[in-house]
C-alpha cells in the first residue's frame, strides 16, 4: 500500500517525500558498520536539540560480558529516593547507542523530572540474543542497588524503550518483576515495540514499504539478532506474548499508525488488558515508526512525545495513590 491509501500527516508526508528524493540505499543493503554510522549521522539532523540538565554523567556497571556503559540524566543536582527510568534505545538490536538517543533522554528527564539511565547494551550480530536482554537486566539490577556513584536512591524502576528497546523494556520488567521486591518495577513504557513476530500481523503487510521502517529491514534486523533463526524467544524472551505476562506492571504503550510493528503493539496491549494489567494505550495516527527521534524533521512528533510523557505522569500518580491507600 502507498501513503495515498492511508491518513498521513502533512509533516510526515513531507519527510517521507524528502527521504524518497534522497534515494539512500536500504539499511539492509549496506555493511553493519556503515548502517550504524549512517544512523548516528542522521540523528542530529532529524531530532530536536538536547535539553540542558543539571546532571549528564557517563557511568559503567558490571555486566555478563564486561562493563556496560550507562548515561545518567537528571534535571536536579540531588533528590530523595524515588523512581528511576531505565531507558533502552531502539535500532533493531543492531544499531543505535547512547548518542543516538541522547537528545530524547534529556527531554524525558526534563519533562518527567525523574532520573533517566540509558543503557548501552551489546548489539547484534556481534552479540546476538540473549546478549541485549542480559545487559539490560544486569544494568537494571545494578541501578536498583543504588550504587554510591549514582548519587540517588532508586526506590522503584520504570522500564522504557523504543522499538527494539520497547521489547527490552517488556522483557526486563517481566524478568525483574519476581526478583526485585524491595525495588519494584512499577511501570513499563514500550514505545512502538517489537512485542512478538511482526510478520504475523496485517500492519506488516500494509506498511511493508514507503513508511520509513520497511518489512525488509525488520527481517534483516531479526536475522542479525537471532542466535538461531528457529528460536522463538528472540522476540519474546521470556515472553511478552508467547510466554504470558500475567505479572506485568502497569503499562503505558504507544504505537504509530503507519508502522509495520503497529499491530504487534496493539495485540500486546490487548493481551495485557485481558491479563488484568492497568494499561494506557496510545496510537498516534498518521505517523511513522521512529517518530520520537524525528521531532525536528516531523514537528508534530514533539506533541506526541508530550502526550506520552503526560500519560506516564498520570499512570505514576495513579500507582502512587494506590500504594498510599
Query: Which residue in the list 3, 100, 140, 163 is annotated as catalytic?
Result: 163
CA-to-CA distance for 169 and 181, rounded, in angstroms?
18
Concatenated DSSP letters of 260-318: TTHHHHHHHHHHHHHHT--EEEEEETT--TTGGG-TTTSTHHHHHHHHHHHHHHHHHHH
Q: For residue 9, which of 304, 313, 250, 322 has the smallest C-alpha distance?
A: 304
What is the phi/psi pair of residue 281, to 5°? Answer: -110, 130
Q: From 173, 195, 153, 174, select the one nearest 86 (Cα to Cα).
A: 173
Which member of 47, 120, 135, 259 is catalytic?
259
Q: Does the annotation count 259 as an active-site position?
A: yes
289: annotated active-site residue: yes
CA–CA gap between residue 251 and residue 195 (Å, rounded): 13
Cα–Cα distance between 164 and 88 in angstroms, integer? 8
Starting at the edge strand that comes first in sequence, how are the strands of the sheet with 68-74 ordered? 55-61, 68-74, 116-120, 82-88, 154-162, 185-191, 251-256, 279-284
CB neighbours of residue 303 within 10 Å: 11
Among candidate residues 101, 102, 271, 289, the one labeled active-site is 289
Active site residues: 163, 259, 289
Amino acid at each position: 500500500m502507498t501513503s495515498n491509501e492511508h491518513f498521513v500527516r502533512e509533516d510526515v508526508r513531507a519527510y517521507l517525500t524528502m527521504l524518497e528524493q534522497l534515494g539512500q540505499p536500504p539499511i539492509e543493503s549496506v555493511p553493519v558498520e556503515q548502517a550504524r554510522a549512517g544512523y548516528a549521522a542522521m540523528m542530529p539532523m532529524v531530532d530536536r536539540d538536547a535539553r540542558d540538565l543539571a546532571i549528564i554523567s557517563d557511568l559503567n556497571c558490571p555486566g555478563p560480558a564486561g562493563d556496560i556503559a550507562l548515561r545518567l540524566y537528571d534535571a536536579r543536582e540531588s533528590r530523595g529516593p524515588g523512581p528511576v527510568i531505565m531507558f533502552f534505545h531502539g535500532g533493531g538490536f543492531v544499531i543505535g547507542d547512547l548518542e543516538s538517543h541522547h537528545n530524547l533522554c534529556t527531554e524525558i528527564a526534563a519533562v518527567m523530572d525523574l532520573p533517566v539511565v540509558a543503557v548501552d547494551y551489546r548489539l547484534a550480530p556481534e552479540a546476538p540474543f540473549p546478549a541485549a536482554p542480559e545487559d539490560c537486566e544486569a544494568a537494571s539490577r545494578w541501578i536498583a542497588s543504588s550504587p554510591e556513584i549514582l548519587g540517588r536512591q532508586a526506590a522503584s524502576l520504570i522500564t522504557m524503550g523504543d522499538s527494539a528497546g520497547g521489547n527490552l523494556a517488556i522483557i526486563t520488567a517481566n524478568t525483574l518483576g519476581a526478583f526485585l521486591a524491595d525495588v519494584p518495577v512499577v511501570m513499563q513504557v514500550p514505545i512502538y515495540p517489537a512485542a512478538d513476530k511482526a510478520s504475523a500481523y496485517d500492519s506488516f503487510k500494509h506498511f511493508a514499504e514507503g513508511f520509513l521502517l520497511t518489512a525488509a529491514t525488520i527481517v534483516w534486523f531479526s536475522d542479525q539478532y537471532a542466535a538461531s533463526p528457529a528460536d522463538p524467544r528472540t522476540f519474546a524472551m521470556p515472553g511478552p506474548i508467547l510466554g504470558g505476562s500475567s505479572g506485568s506492571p502497569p503499562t503505558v504503550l504507544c504505537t504509530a499508525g503507519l508502522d509495520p510493528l503497529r499491530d504487534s503493539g496493539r495485540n500486546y496491549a490487548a493481551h495485557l488488558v485481558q491479563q488484568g494489567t492497568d494499561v494506557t494505550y496510545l496510537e498516534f495516527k498518521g505517523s511513522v515508526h521512529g517518530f520520537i527521534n524525528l521531532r525536528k524533521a516531523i514537528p508534530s512528533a514533539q506533541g506526541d512525545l508530550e502526550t506520552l510523557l503526560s500519560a506516564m505522569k498520570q499512570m505514576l500518580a495513579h500507582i502512587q495513590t494506590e500504594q498510599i491507600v
